[in-house]
Structure 1
Amino acid sequence: MAVKLRWPWLGIAIPTLLISFIGYGAHYFILSNFLPIAKQIGFEFSLSMIWFSYYLAIYTNPGRPLPNYQPTPGIWPNFCKKCQNYKPERSHHCKTCNQCVLMMDHHCPWTMNCVGFGNYPHFLRFLFWIIITTSILFCIQVKRICFIWQRRNFPGYLFKKSELTFLTILSPLNFFVLLTITVLFLRCLFNQIVNGRSQIESWDMDRLESLFDSRRLIQKLIYNTWRIYPESKTLQHERDAEGLLKQQRSSFEGLVNFPYNFDLHTNAILYLGPVHLWLWPYGIPTGNGNNFPKNDISNYEVDSPLEDIILSLPWPPDGGETTTVSNPKTSTIETCNEGGEQVVRSRVAQNGRSASREKWFNDWGESLDDFGVDVDME
């Protein structure tokens, strides 16, 4: 779940203090006692790359829509009242940055900036260099601890007390940073590179699957199909639609397609840029962030089976509306006394798993608001 700080400047102060305390504290009090100069320089280089990528992640704009942007066919037209401009596909308005962000992933409190199309490679490189640096330090610390333990019966003057003190403090702290950043890095890689999605889009996919499981999605998909492709509303397709609503045998993957997902290599090139620039500090993704290529599944053909036409709906296929189509099968029956008479009424469940899009939360407890999105502009 997203971290919300009372004072936003702490989002920069805390990582800065951690990087400085762990990196320079370890170098001065531990590594300088035994590590060769060449390896000390290598460690400082890795530490410097953390600072450089962190600076770029903070000060690089995540991407703004083009002025007077006009939505292209095949996407939902979404006008932002605050920016007075249409939002390109995959864009959202950040309530903290006060701008529409191209391919918004989330607002990061630790950079006081959004992570979006324009600075996603910088953010990922920042995480990568933290993992590299803390991994190097962790290995050195473990070897040093083992070395000292094997000589624990030697005279105490052979080892500096400052080194022992900082080994005791920094070893668990360094491992904690390594573990947490690795989890975040892998989550980002899984979302963006494996599945081609931002964190918000992964959240939306979970929301759609929840609607599908509660049997409230298919009706909305069919409604949007007739709305977007009115020429496809043939007699045969209407019969197929009735069958989908009655049988409920279709799988979620058979009706919902994420149009921006390709293979691993293509996804990586789209969001990180050419391979030889992945570790280059100024490497940026390809494209302009206002329009994105779509996979073959999203191609629309009027004479295709109904399921294939539904798969070609713009993302998100339910239109991203704040309200969802309810299904009578998800309602419950409640009884109560009103004026001395027993009243029976149907009540639709209103929990987090079936609420409106702006209030829905996933298994991590995350709502759309937790990613920094201005839900009023959705």
Structure 2
Amino acid sequence: MGRWLGRIVVGLTLSLISFIAYSSQIFIIWPWYGRELSVELMTLLGPFNLLVGMLLWNYWLCVLTDPGQVPKDWQPDVQSEHGYEVKPLTGTPRYCRTCQSYKPPRAHHCKQCKRCVLRMDHHCPWVNNCIGFANYGHFIRFLFFVDVACIYHVTVITRRVFEGMGRGYWDEPSGVELIFIVLNYVTCVPVICAVGAFSIYHFYCLLANSTTIEGWEKDKAATLVRRGKIQEIKFPYDLGYKSNVVSVLGSNPLLWCCPTVPPGNGLKYDMTTDYGEWMELQSSSHAGGVHGFGAAGKRIVEP
């Protein structure tokens, strides 16, 4: 049931994207330009369709790309300079009882996907998939192209409205055109508001090299710092804005808007050399506990 519900949600999402993208061109822009091809019309619609194409490409990659699965028989390298996570009582590495396997740093178990996901950010119902190590870059690009395409769309539709109002009447008024103008505003404006707010948060996470789960953990840790229960802490994966973006989108800025394979293998991550001690408080919906980094680079986890 869950699998089919997820596919229905993906179908509805694609339908919404297609309606906004193509109904505006067929029923508003095309009549506005007299239903004739022209250089001006192609100049207007060319960039918009390019944005829509990139949007759909990255969305489909979010849906189809495996976010990253822990390899069978993977075990942490206790000699690694990248650090490893251990439980404070036993001193043993993190272990997922459900998957019966060790968990690499930043990996979490997803109840919906029923497996551990590398660098798990969240499970997204809109793509019917987890957002993790291998598809987080696609997700960031998808949000970016949704924002830009929707702003472009609303700008063009608004230009059409104001051009008609500026003459004191609708240019070649059409009941169908008016209906689709209203429908496009009703569908596109809420998308801009909702996805725009979501994008701001994830662009911030990208710049901080943080996942949604780690963001929750940092917020809870900050609350404990204010209450005086723990000492001031630092997040170990924040390498600086540029390095943080490179760790997700790759080293070539010219390719940041193009789907690419993320650097690394999702099993280990660079950390700042002066991170001090970091404590994480996982939410109860994931394999909860308190995490910390000691001087030796061990990440301590309470079950």
Q: TM-score range by the shorter chain?
A: 0.7 to 0.9
Aligned equivalent of 2:151, options 120, 126, 135? 135
Q: Is the 8 A contact 1:29 1:166 kept in 2?
A: yes
In the alignment, is residue 279 of structure 1 matched against residue 257 of structure 2? yes
Q: Which amino acid aligns with 2:192?
A: L
Matches within 5 A, 1:122-271: 122-153=138-169, 158-193=172-207, 195-218=208-231, 255-271=232-248
Give the structure 2 partner of residue 326 of structure 1: none
Q: Which position in structure 1 is the counterpart of 2:29?
A: 31
- Partner deviation per Cα, 1:152-197 (whole Å, 9 max, x = no partner): 346x7x222211111122123212211211111110010121x221
Whether the 8 Å contact between 1:272 and 1:278 is mirrored in structure 2 is: yes
- For residues 150 and 15 of structure 2, the distance between their equivalents in structure 1, rounded to whole angstroms, comes to 15
Paired position in structure 1 for 2:123: 107
Task: Give 1:375 deviation, angstroms.
Answer: 5.3
Aligned to 1:72: 77
TM-score under structure 2 length normalisation: 0.82
Q: Which residue of 1 aligns with 2:47?
A: 42
Q: Name the structure 2 match of 1:118.
A: 134
The match for 2:17 among 19, 29, 35 is: 19
What percent of counterpart residues are identical? 29
- Residues 95 and 374 of structure 1 are in contact (CA less than 8 Å); yes or no, is this contact kept in structure 2? no
Matches of 1:215 and 1:209, distance apart in 2: 10
Q: Tell me, in whole angstroms, the C-alpha distance in 1 between the residues paired with 2:169 and 2:158.
A: 19
Three-state SS of the structure 2 residue aligned to 1:216 is coil
Instruction: Output the CA distance in 2 between the equivalents of 1:375 and 1:113.
Output: 21
SS at match of 1:17: helix
Q: CA deviation at 1:14?
A: 2.8
Q: Is contact 1:197–1:260 with CA below 8 Å preserved after alignment?
A: yes
Match of 2:59 in 1: 54
1:66 touches 1:290 (CA, 8 Å); kept in 2? no
Give the SS at the match of 2:6.
coil
Letter of the aligned partner of 1:215 in structure 2?
G
After superposition, what is the alpha-carbon deviation per residue over 1:251-295, rounded to whole angstroms, capped at 9, x for unaligned?
xxxx311110011110000011122221112x1221111000110
Q: Which residue of structure 1 aligns with residue 299 of structure 2?
A: none
Instruction: Spell out structure 1 runs of 4+ moving beyond 4 A.
Output: 374-378
1:53–1:126 CA contact under 8 A, matched in 2: yes
Q: Which amino acid aligns with 2:168?
A: R
Structure 2 SS opposite 1:296: coil
Query: What SS class does the counterpart of residue 9 from structure 1 fall into?
Result: helix
Q: How does 1:227-376 map to 2 (within 5 A)?
A: 255-274=232-251, 275-281=253-259, 283-298=260-275, 311=276, 313=277, 315=278, 317=279, 320=281, 357-358=283-284, 369=285, 373=286
Higher gyration radius (CA): 1
Question: Aligned-pair distance for 1:11?
Answer: 2.7
Give the Cα–Cα distance (whole angstroms) in 1 for the partners of residues 113 and 182 of structure 2. Answer: 40
Letter in 1 for 2:255: L
- Stretches of structure 2 that go unaligned for 5 or more consecutive residues are 34-39, 86-92, 290-301
Alpha-carbon distance in structure 1 between the residues aligned to 2:228 and 2:22:
56
User: Alignment partner of 1:114: what SS?
Assistant: strand
CA distances 1:212-239 after superposition (whole Å, capped 9, x unpaired): 2233335xxxxxxxxxxxxxxxxxxxxx
Distance 1:177 1:153 in 2: 29
* Number of residue equivalences: 271
Aligned to 1:90: 106
**CA distance 1:374–1:13, change in 2 (3 Å):** farther
Whichever residue aligns with residue 86 of structure 1, its letter is Y
1:101-133, Cα deviation, whole Å (9 max, x unpaired): 111110001001011111011111111111121
RMSD: 2.5
Paired letter, 2:77: T
Structure 1 gap ranges (5+): 219-254, 299-310, 323-356, 359-368
Aligned-residue offset at 1:67: 2.6
Is the 1:32–1:40 contact (alpha carbons within 8 Å) kept by the matching residues of 2? Answer: no
* 1:374 to 1:161, Cα distance in 2 relative to 1, 3 A: farther
